Homo-oligomer: A and B are copies of this chain.
Amino acid sequence: MTARMALWALLLEYDGTPFVGWQRQAQGLSVQQVLEEAAARLAGAPVGVAVAGRTDAGVHAAGQVAAVELPAHLPARQVRDALNYHMKPHPVVVLAAAPVPAGWHPRFSALERRYRYRILDRRARPALLAGRVWHHPAALDTILMAQAALPLLGRHDFTSFRAAACQAASPIRTLDRLAVTRAGEIVTIEAVARSFLHHQVRNLVGTLALVGCGRWPPERAAEALAARDRSAAGPTAPAAGLTLEAVRYAEDPFAAG
């Protein structure tokens, strides 16, 4: 007898450091593999997992969303706890699990993604935040960075901030938020959009950092955007500083939890 299956949404937190990224690769351990192996043990058969955002190697998640077919009759708490048990000792956990309607998709149903990028702006390398921040020893002026970020908001062709490997059909995206704030030695850049191009947030951060340390005048960020040429913008900021914070849907799948 086979249990009736249902589609489950999973809210995930993970430390990206030990992984080759979300997606399965020929070599190395991926978050997807850890989750799929745990889900297979719960389902009693191999299962495939879909995800809201395929994070790169070293990128973290505090609110990634995935979907997977699992037995329909299980209580949500049991799905969460059983998956967490099977994913030990890997730094991936399910924060919440909830059944969703057939056809719901964590990627295509998403209305908004929120990323947070953290820079440690001090001379000494990080000890407590190693692997969680970009260490930038040259002092950053966040006022200039915020000034440079302003003209990047809205609907644009983001070719200059797009990885060569990006598979999106169009380079047009609408950037709803690109906020630069400071709390002591930590400079945080929050980026919000319906969706992002590959490496878009890290390329935006790499460009803003050139402005922050005085190597570029603030207006050059807008010029880089207008150039529609990757080589016109700044370098890709390191993966360690980036965290996928949240994915928003028309209805929050986890509202009941």
Contact = CB atoms under 8 A, between A and B. Distances in A.
A128 B60 CA distance: 8
A124 B84 contact: yes
B15 A125 contact: no
Interface in A117-164: 122-128, 130, 132
B81 A128 contact: no
Contact of A127 (B13, B122, B124): B13
Contacts of A70: none
Interface string A230-257: 0000000000000100000000000000
Interface stretch (A49-57, A92-100, A201-209): A92-100
A194 to B, nearest CB: 25
A14 B127 contact: yes
B130 A15 contact: yes
Number of copies: 2
A80 B123 contact: yes
Nearest to A85: B125
A171 interface: no
Interface string A52-74: 00000000101000000000000
Given A84-B124, A84-B125, 19 more contacts: A13-B124, A13-B127, A14-B127, A15-B127, A15-B128, A15-B130, A60-B128, A62-B128, A80-B123, A80-B124, A81-B123, A88-B125, A91-B127, A92-B127, A93-B124, A93-B127, A95-B122, A95-B124, A128-B132
